[in-house]
Amino acid sequence: MRIDLNGAPVETAAATLAALIEERGLDAAAVATAMNGAFVPRPLRDRTALTEGARIEVLSPMQGG
């Protein structure tokens, strides 16, 4: 299916937000996620189904000042 990941179109076979994070090789404990503008807490990612055209944001914390 085609989704928008951090502003870029992406093809994915992932069915859930948790599966997408794993598919992309991201550290699930170190990122924040949102789907279609709504924050998705870590415990809900495996129950958050992806849909065609979904807008996903995956953000990593940045250090510095």
Pairing of the two strands 55-59 and 2-5: parallel
**Residue 39 within a domain:** yes
**Residue 64 within a domain:** no
Q: pTM above 0.85?
A: yes
**Residue 17 within a domain:** yes
**Residue 51 within a domain:** yes
The pLDDT assigned to 13 comes to 98
**Residue 30 within a domain:** yes
**Residue 65 within a domain:** no
CA-nearest of 65, 54, 46 to 10 is 54
The pLDDT assigned to 62 comes to 73
51 class by beta-carbon count within 10 Å (0-12 exposed, 13-18 middle, 19+ buried): exposed
pLDDT tens-digit profile of 8-44?
999 999 999 999 999 999 999 999 999 999 999 999 9
Q: What is the DSSP letter of 18?
A: H
CATH code, 30: 3.10.20.30
18: alpha, beta or left, given left = phi > 0 and alpha = psi -120 to 50?
A: alpha
Question: What's the structural domain count of the chain?
Answer: 1
Domain that holds residue 38: 2-59
